[in-house]
Protein backbone atom coordinates (compact mmCIF):
# COMPACT_ATOMS: atom_id res chain seq x y z
CA UNK A 1 0.00 0.00 0.00
CA UNK A 2 2.75 2.45 0.94
CA UNK A 3 4.73 1.59 -2.18
CA UNK A 4 1.63 2.25 -4.28
CA UNK A 5 1.18 5.70 -2.71
CA UNK A 6 4.83 6.54 -3.35
CA UNK A 7 4.54 5.53 -7.00
CA UNK A 8 1.27 7.38 -7.52
CA UNK A 9 2.71 10.62 -6.15
CA UNK A 10 5.97 10.36 -8.06
CA UNK A 11 7.95 12.24 -5.41
CA UNK A 12 10.43 9.42 -4.84
CA UNK A 13 11.85 6.45 -6.70
CA UNK A 14 11.63 3.15 -4.83
CA UNK A 15 15.12 1.65 -4.65
CA UNK A 16 13.97 -1.43 -2.75
CA UNK A 17 12.69 -2.79 0.54
CA UNK A 18 14.40 -3.67 3.81
CA UNK A 19 13.06 -6.50 5.97
CA UNK A 20 14.51 -7.64 9.30
CA UNK A 21 11.61 -9.98 10.06
CA UNK A 22 11.92 -12.42 7.14
CA UNK A 23 15.60 -12.73 6.18
CA UNK A 24 14.73 -15.71 4.00
CA UNK A 25 13.01 -13.28 1.63
CA UNK A 26 16.11 -11.19 1.01
CA UNK A 27 16.79 -10.68 -2.71
CA UNK A 28 13.21 -11.68 -3.58
CA UNK A 29 10.99 -9.47 -5.73
CA UNK A 30 7.95 -7.98 -3.99
CA UNK A 31 5.52 -5.34 -5.24
CA UNK A 32 7.76 -4.26 -8.07
CA UNK A 33 11.03 -3.96 -6.16
CA UNK A 34 13.67 -6.14 -4.50
CA UNK A 35 14.04 -6.90 -0.80
CA UNK A 36 17.62 -5.71 -0.46
CA UNK A 37 18.29 -7.04 3.04
CA UNK A 38 17.78 -5.67 6.53
CA UNK A 39 19.21 -2.88 8.67
CA UNK A 40 22.71 -3.98 7.79
CA UNK A 41 22.18 -2.35 4.38
CA UNK A 42 21.67 1.16 5.75
CA UNK A 43 25.30 2.25 5.45
CA UNK A 44 25.68 0.96 1.91
CA UNK A 45 22.40 2.54 0.82
CA UNK A 46 23.57 5.88 2.20
CA UNK A 47 26.81 5.57 0.25
CA UNK A 48 24.76 4.82 -2.88
CA UNK A 49 22.88 8.09 -2.47
CA UNK A 50 19.63 6.99 -0.81
CA UNK A 51 18.42 9.72 1.57
CA UNK A 52 14.80 8.87 2.46
CA UNK A 53 13.12 5.90 4.14
CA UNK A 54 9.47 5.21 4.97
CA UNK A 55 8.02 2.32 6.95
CA UNK A 56 5.43 0.06 5.36
CA UNK A 57 4.25 -1.99 8.36
CA UNK A 58 1.70 -1.54 11.11
CA UNK A 59 3.57 -2.24 14.37
CA UNK A 60 3.37 1.16 16.04
CA UNK A 61 6.20 0.97 18.57
CA UNK A 62 8.53 -0.62 16.00
CA UNK A 63 8.02 2.28 13.59
CA UNK A 64 9.03 4.72 16.31
CA UNK A 65 12.01 2.67 17.39
CA UNK A 66 13.31 2.19 13.84
CA UNK A 67 12.80 5.85 13.06
CA UNK A 68 15.54 6.63 15.57
CA UNK A 69 17.79 4.02 13.96
CA UNK A 70 17.46 5.34 10.42
CA UNK A 71 17.76 8.96 11.49
CA UNK A 72 20.89 8.03 13.39
CA UNK A 73 22.25 6.76 10.07
CA UNK A 74 21.53 10.13 8.43
CA UNK A 75 18.29 9.34 6.59
CA UNK A 76 15.19 11.52 6.49
CA UNK A 77 11.70 10.10 6.78
CA UNK A 78 9.47 10.32 3.73
CA UNK A 79 5.75 11.05 4.10
CA UNK A 80 3.10 9.40 1.91
CA UNK A 81 -0.35 10.89 1.33
CA UNK A 82 -2.53 9.11 -1.22
CA UNK A 83 -3.73 11.44 -4.00
CA UNK A 84 -7.30 10.28 -3.31
CA UNK A 85 -7.14 11.29 0.35
CA UNK A 86 -8.78 14.58 1.37
CA UNK A 87 -6.52 16.70 3.56
CA UNK A 88 -7.47 20.15 4.86
CA UNK A 89 -5.12 22.95 3.95
CA UNK A 90 -4.24 23.68 7.59
CA UNK A 91 -3.81 20.07 8.70
CA UNK A 92 -0.26 19.05 9.63
CA UNK A 93 1.25 15.64 8.91
CA UNK A 94 4.54 14.63 10.48
CA UNK A 95 7.53 13.00 8.84
CA UNK A 96 7.19 9.31 8.10
CA UNK A 97 3.40 9.28 8.33
CA UNK A 98 1.07 7.57 5.86
CA UNK A 99 -2.42 8.71 4.84
CA UNK A 100 -4.17 6.08 2.74
CA UNK A 101 -6.75 6.23 -0.05
CA UNK A 102 -10.15 7.62 0.87
CA UNK A 103 -9.03 9.02 4.22
CA UNK A 104 -10.41 12.41 5.26
CA UNK A 105 -8.29 14.74 7.37
CA UNK A 106 -10.33 17.77 8.39
CA UNK A 107 -9.27 21.31 9.45
CA UNK A 108 -7.07 21.75 12.48
CA UNK A 109 -5.91 18.13 12.61
CA UNK A 110 -2.37 17.46 13.80
CA UNK A 111 -0.81 14.13 12.86
CA UNK A 112 2.54 13.31 14.41
CA UNK A 113 5.45 11.38 12.99
CA UNK A 114 5.28 7.77 11.79
CA UNK A 115 1.51 7.67 12.20
CA UNK A 116 -0.97 5.90 9.91
CA UNK A 117 -4.43 7.05 8.91
CA UNK A 118 -5.59 4.03 6.99
CA UNK A 119 -8.02 3.42 4.14
CA UNK A 120 -11.26 5.44 4.32
CA UNK A 121 -10.67 6.56 7.90
CA UNK A 122 -12.16 9.91 8.91
CA UNK A 123 -10.40 12.29 11.29
CA UNK A 124 -12.55 15.29 12.09
CA UNK A 125 -11.61 18.84 13.07
CA UNK A 126 -8.92 19.57 15.65
CA UNK A 127 -8.02 15.94 16.38
CA UNK A 128 -4.50 15.14 17.52
CA UNK A 129 -2.94 11.88 16.33
CA UNK A 130 0.32 11.42 18.20
CA UNK A 131 3.58 9.86 16.96
CA UNK A 132 3.32 6.25 15.88
CA UNK A 133 -0.47 5.99 16.25
CA UNK A 134 -2.57 3.99 13.78
CA UNK A 135 -6.15 4.90 12.87
CA UNK A 136 -7.46 1.76 11.21
CA UNK A 137 -9.45 1.37 7.99
CA UNK A 138 -12.93 2.85 8.18
CA UNK A 139 -12.46 4.27 11.68
CA UNK A 140 -14.34 7.48 12.50
CA UNK A 141 -13.00 10.07 14.91
CA UNK A 142 -15.26 13.02 15.77
CA UNK A 143 -13.80 16.44 16.53
CA UNK A 144 -11.06 17.06 19.11
CA UNK A 145 -10.24 13.39 19.69
CA UNK A 146 -6.73 12.71 20.97
CA UNK A 147 -5.03 9.46 19.99
CA UNK A 148 -1.94 8.89 22.11
CA UNK A 149 1.54 7.79 21.15
CA UNK A 150 1.59 4.37 19.43
CA UNK A 151 -2.13 3.82 20.13
CA UNK A 152 -4.21 1.79 17.68
CA UNK A 153 -7.78 2.35 16.60
CA UNK A 154 -9.22 -0.82 15.06
CA UNK A 155 -11.13 -1.29 11.82
CA UNK A 156 -14.45 0.52 11.88
CA UNK A 157 -14.07 1.85 15.42
CA UNK A 158 -15.78 5.13 16.36
CA UNK A 159 -14.81 7.80 18.89
CA UNK A 160 -17.17 10.57 19.97
CA UNK A 161 -16.06 14.18 20.18
CA UNK A 162 -13.36 15.13 22.66
CA UNK A 163 -12.36 11.70 24.02
CA UNK A 164 -8.76 10.70 24.62
CA UNK A 165 -7.24 7.32 23.78
CA UNK A 166 -4.14 6.75 25.87
CA UNK A 167 -0.66 5.94 24.61
CA UNK A 168 -0.07 2.31 23.57
CA UNK A 169 -3.75 1.43 23.94
CA UNK A 170 -5.82 -0.56 21.46
CA UNK A 171 -9.45 0.07 20.62
CA UNK A 172 -10.72 -3.12 19.02
CA UNK A 173 -12.49 -3.36 15.68
CA UNK A 174 -15.95 -1.82 15.77
CA UNK A 175 -15.46 -0.36 19.25
CA UNK A 176 -17.46 2.74 20.19
CA UNK A 177 -15.44 5.05 22.42
CA UNK A 178 -17.68 7.31 24.52
CA UNK A 179 -15.29 7.85 27.45
CA UNK A 180 -11.54 8.36 27.73
CA UNK A 181 -9.42 5.22 27.39
CA UNK A 182 -6.37 5.11 29.70
CA UNK A 183 -2.84 4.30 28.60
CA UNK A 184 -1.67 0.78 27.90
CA UNK A 185 -4.97 -1.08 27.74
CA UNK A 186 -7.14 -3.01 25.30
CA UNK A 187 -10.75 -1.82 25.01
CA UNK A 188 -13.58 -2.95 22.78
CA UNK A 189 -17.35 -3.21 22.53
CA UNK A 190 -20.25 -0.75 22.40
CA UNK A 191 -19.57 1.18 24.47
CA UNK A 192 -15.86 0.34 24.51
CA UNK A 193 -14.74 -1.02 27.88
CA UNK A 194 -11.24 -1.87 29.11
CA UNK A 195 -10.78 -5.64 29.08
CA UNK A 196 -7.09 -6.09 29.83
CA UNK A 197 -3.69 -4.46 29.80
CA UNK A 198 -1.96 -4.09 26.44
CA UNK A 199 1.51 -5.35 25.68
CA UNK A 200 3.57 -2.17 25.67
CA UNK A 201 6.86 -2.17 23.76
CA UNK A 202 8.49 1.24 23.26
Q: Are residues 58 and 95 in the same domain?
A: no
Q: Are residues 101 and 151 in the same domain?
A: yes
Q: Are residues 167 and 88 in the same domain?
A: yes
Confidence of residue 32 (pLDDT cuts 50, 70, 90): confident
Q: Are the CB atoms for 61 and 201 separated by under 8 Å?
A: yes
pLDDT score of 81? 98
Range of the domain at 39: 2-77
Q: What is the CATH number of the domain that holds 133?
A: 2.160.10.10
Whether residue 201 is contained in a domain is answered as no
Whether residue 58 is contained in a domain is answered as yes
Q: Are residues 56 and 131 in the same domain?
A: no
Confidence of residue 31 (pLDDT cuts 50, 70, 90): confident
When pLDDT is averaged across residues 106-128 and rounded to a whole number, the result is 98
When pLDDT is averaged across residues 128-149 and rounded to a whole number, the result is 98
Q: What is the CATH number of the domain that holds 30?
A: 3.40.50.20
Q: Are residues 110 and 51 in the same domain?
A: no
Q: Are the CB atoms for 159 and 142 separated by under 8 Å?
A: yes
Q: Are residues 62 and 93 in the same domain?
A: no
pTM for the full model?
A: 0.94
Whether residue 198 is contained in a domain is answered as no
pLDDT score of 99? 98
What is the DSSP secondary structure assignment for residue 13, as one 8-state letter? -
When pLDDT is averaged across residues 96-121 and rounded to a whole number, the result is 98
H or E segment and range at residue 65: helix 60-72
Q: Are residues 146 and 135 in the same domain?
A: yes
Q: Are residues 170 and 125 in the same domain?
A: yes
Residues 6+ apart with CB under 8 A from 128: 109, 110, 145, 146, 147
- Choosing from 77, 99, 128, the residue where a domain stops is 77
- Choosing from 17, 50, 77, the residue where a domain stops is 77
Task: Note the pLDDT tens digit of each residue in 45-91.
Answer: 999 999 999 999 999 999 999 999 999 999 999 999 999 999 999 99
- Choosing from 62, 77, 92, the residue where a domain stops is 77
Q: In what order do the strands lie in the sheet with 164-165?
A: 92-93, 110-111, 128-129, 146-147, 164-165
Q: Are residues 40 and 117 in the same domain?
A: no
Confidence of residue 202 (pLDDT cuts 50, 70, 90): low
Overall domain count for the chain: 2
pLDDT score of 201? 62
Q: Are residues 88 and 183 in the same domain?
A: yes
Whether residue 200 is contained in a domain is answered as no
Confidence of residue 27 (pLDDT cuts 50, 70, 90): confident
How far is 87 from 93, CA to CA, in rounded Å? Answer: 9
**Which residues partner with 99 through β-bridges?**
81, 117
Q: Are residues 100 and 179 in the same domain?
A: yes
Amino acid sequence: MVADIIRLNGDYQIVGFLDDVRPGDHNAERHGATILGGQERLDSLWREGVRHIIFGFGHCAARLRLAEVVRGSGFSLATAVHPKAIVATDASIGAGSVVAAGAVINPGVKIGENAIVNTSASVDHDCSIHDGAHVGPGARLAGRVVVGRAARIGVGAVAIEGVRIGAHSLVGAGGVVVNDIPEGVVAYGNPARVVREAEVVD
